[in-house]
């Protein structure tokens, strides 16, 4: 990674492009994490079930409220899309949209594993330019600015976040949240093509911190697209980790090698995801996936897909 891109001073205190926005995201993430941790320590958050069957808790809603307040106060003209907040199509007209998951890993929050994060990103013209993830249980932060690099904040210590390439045969992983349990045969063939061990299926999704040296257990994460070509994830699941992984020297695309787009009409992700520790490994993983997916990729915006029963374009 090109070290010359990194600012000499903490980026949230600088004056370069998106320094202020990173500072806003860090402030929102840290304040939300404190609120979440209070619920967590007291074991005081009631859990509910949303219409889609996924869980939500009082801590998710409180985190959402804090983040909205911080971002709304700092940049009131920007659009805002959060998992727990109402989504208005009016946001599409804005070139700047904040994309937020107040708690990524609500099931882990409920199970009290500590494996959950606050995710905040700013997308400009459909691409993430600022990303922040905060793990409330210990305050570990990963952050990035497009074209400027990525950083890890551990308490008062700030250091560059750079992903080391895979040292040998790649270690691959998938997740039950990204179709891993439904695509076992295809994942096994992908592993064979890469000379890798069988692919374990995680109970959690993907976080940029998974590529940190202290937590590194795999070199590439694969979420194959659903057979229908419809959504495997939502924008708030990916926007922050997208820019953090990319700026740390990794690669993050869909299964056809296309960069994801954000602030779309539909918030869904239609092409699956691949996150790799290096560009070289990423190319190999994409090539290994190719026989398992259609030649023609689905449209990036699931809103452009025909409704069930309708003919395709």
**Full set of structural domains in the chain with CATH:** 3-160 (3.30.540.10), 172-302 (3.40.190.80)
**Which percentage of the chain shows pLDDT scores above 90?**
79
DSSP state of 52: T
What is the average pLDDT score of the chain?
Answer: 91
Q: What is the mean pLDDT of residues 286-297?
A: 96
In 107-181, where do the E strands start and end? 117-124, 127-135, 140-145, 149-154, 157-160, 172-175
Whether pLDDT at 279 is above 90: yes
Instruction: State residue 13's pLDDT score.
Output: 62
Binding site: which residues?
83, 101, 103-104, 237
More confident position, 13 or 109: 109
Residues placed in the known binding site for Mg(2+): 83, 101, 103-104, 237
**According to the model, what pLDDT value does residue 50 have?**
84
At 54 the pLDDT is: 84
pLDDT digits (tens, 9 = 90+) for 6-58: 443 456 667 788 999 999 999 999 999 999 999 999 999 999 898 777 889 99
- The answer for residues whose C-beta is within 8 angstroms of residue 63's C-beta and 6 or more apart is 32, 33, 35, 36, 102, 103, 118
The pLDDT confidence band at residue 232, using thresholds 50, 70 and 90, is: confident
pLDDT > 70? residue 299: yes
Residue 73: per-residue pLDDT:
98
What's the confidence (pLDDT) of residue 7?
Answer: 42
Judged against a pLDDT cut of 80, whether residue 308 lies above it is answered with no
Q: 75-86 pLDDT, tens per residue?
A: 999 999 999 986
Q: Among 198, 205, 197, which Cα is nearest to 184's?
A: 198
State the Cα–Cα distance between residues 112 and 234, nearest whole angstrom.
23
For 160-215, the pLDDT digits (tens) are: 999 999 988 999 999 998 988 888 999 999 999 999 999 999 999 999 999 999 99
Q: What is the pLDDT of residue 143?
A: 98
Asked if residues 169 and 182 have their Cβ atoms less than 8 Å apart, the reply is no
Ramachandran region of residue 126, left (φ > 0), alpha (ψ -120 to 50) or beta?
left
Helix, strand, coil share of the chain (percent; to 5): 35, 25, 45
pLDDT confidence of residue 295: 95
Identify the CA nearest to 39 among candidates 102, 91, 87, 97: 102
Confidence of residue 89 (pLDDT cuts 50, 70, 90): confident
């Amino acid at each position: 990674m090109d070290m010359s891109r990194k600012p000499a001073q903490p980026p949230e205190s600088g004056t370069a492009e998106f320094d202020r926005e990173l500072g806003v995201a860090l402030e929102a993430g840290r304040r939300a994490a404190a609120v979440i941790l209070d619920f967590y320590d007291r074991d005081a958050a009631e859990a509910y079930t949303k219409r889609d069957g996924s869980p939500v808790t009082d801590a998710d809603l409180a985190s959402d409220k804090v983040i909205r307040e911080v971002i709304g106060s700092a940049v009131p003209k920007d659009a805002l899309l959060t998992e727990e907040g109402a989504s208005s199509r009016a946001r599409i007209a804005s070139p700047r949209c904040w994309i937020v998951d107040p708690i990524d890993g609500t099931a882990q929050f409920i199970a009290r594993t500590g494996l959950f994060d606050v995710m905040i990103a700013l997308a400009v013209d459909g691409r993430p330019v600022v990303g922040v993830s905060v793990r409330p249980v210990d305050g570990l932060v990963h952050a990035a600015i497009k074209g400027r690099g990525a950083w890890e904040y551990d308490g008062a210590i700030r250091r560059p976040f750079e992903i080391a390439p895979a040292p040998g045969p790649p270690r691959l992983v998938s997740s039950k949240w990204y179709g891993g349990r439904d695509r076992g045969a295809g994942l096994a063939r992908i592993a064979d093509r890469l000379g890798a061990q069988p692919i374990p299926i995680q109970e959690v999704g993907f976080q940029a911190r998974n590529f940190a040296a202290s937590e590194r257990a795999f070199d590439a994460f694969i979420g194959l697209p659903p057979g229908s070509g419809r959504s495997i994830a939502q924008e708030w699941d990916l926007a922050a980790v997208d820019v953090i992984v990319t700026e740390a020297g990794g690669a993050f695309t869909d299964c056809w090698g296309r960069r994801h787009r954000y602030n779309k009409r539909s918030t869904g992700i239609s092409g699956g995801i691949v996150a790799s520790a290096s560009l070289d490994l990423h190319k190999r993983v994409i090539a290994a996936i190719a026989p398992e997916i259609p030649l023609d990729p689905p449209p990036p915006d699931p809103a452009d897909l025909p409704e069930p029963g309708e003919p395709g374009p």
